[in-house]
Structure 1
């Protein structure tokens, strides 16, 4: 992976040329060649949605108390993983992570009524 647009060096190990890649994943953080975090934020949001829907399917009674236990335990760690290393700088990256919680609150009938009444 070449960082920056003007870097045209070709790297070799024992005479074998290393391939160029656009993204690299290290310790769960996806970094692109231009150091944007959109791929990491979208992957974290997708994992958050997946955990949210799998917990919703697993529990028949998904009420307010269950949401208060399950959301911080299973969903938030995916959204906050390595946020210090790959902090979302763009608004669209932040919005992709912030959209997960309103979807989760819409699944709970008691909370979704409160949100629609206050809006």
Structure 2
């Protein structure tokens, strides 16, 4: 299989990264300021502002389509459409690209604010009251919920696939005759 050299680029991560040039066989590879992988945009500063703006724009378009094409403003209809079409975009890989800056968090929160404002009978309520009435959570709580779910899965052994181990302790020998514990197997090792 031949590689398409136009699609092969590398990304320098971090501001102190040495700006080396790389080759694939004899061809020089180009660098990139940002790359998309599995739908998540990562830039060279490992900043998620572009990802947040991209998601907010995509979801705003969907909310506009819902508003223009659906006659009903009932809570059941709008909530179902938002759960199926909007929420997956807001929550996809959110643990990875969790917004770091206040402006990004507010941008994403405004999307949900707009969706809840579309529902008939809830217009007069504050945003927090609308969320409570609908059984929804703010962005901060959605991120926390995802983190807790992933932590629970890890602690219960749900992430035992090859390469998914986050931490491992290397056995250490501290001196002549000293022993250390191998935390991966629970056994003791001697010097």
Which secondary structure does the structure 2 equivalent of 1:25 belong to? strand
Instruction: Give the Cα–Cα distance (whole angstroms) in 1 for the partners of residues 86 and 100 of structure 2.
Output: 21
Moved more, 107-116 or 11-20: 107-116
Residue among 70, 88, 91 paired with 1:59:
70
Higher relative contact order structure (alpha carbons within 8 Å, sequence separation ≥ 6): 1
Instruction: Give the Cα–Cα distance (whole angstroms) in 1 for the partners of residues 100 and 113 of structure 2.
Output: 21
Quick check: 1:24 aligned with 2:35?
yes
Which secondary structure does the structure 2 equivalent of 1:104 belong to? helix
TM superposition score normalised by structure 2: 0.57
Instruction: Give the Cα–Cα distance (whole angstroms) in 1 for the partners of residues 20 and 79 of structure 2.
Output: 51
Write 1 or 2 for the structure with the bigger share of helix: 1
Instruction: Give the Cα–Cα distance (whole angstroms) in 1 for the partners of residues 97 and 40 of structure 2.
Output: 7
Instruction: Give the Cα–Cα distance (whole angstroms) in 2 for the partners of residues 114 and 12 of structure 1.
Output: 59
Instruction: After TM superposition, give the deviation of residue 65 of structure 1 in Å.
Output: 2.0
1:1-52 CA-to-partner distances (Å, cap 9, x unmatched) read 1112231211111121111110000000000001000111111111111111
Structure 1 alignment gaps of length 5 or more: none
* RMSD across aligned positions (CA): 1.7
After TM superposition, which residue ranges in structure 1, 4 or more long, deviate above 4 angstroms? none
Instruction: After TM superposition, give the deviation of residue 64 of structure 1 in Å.
Output: 1.9
> How many residues matched?
117
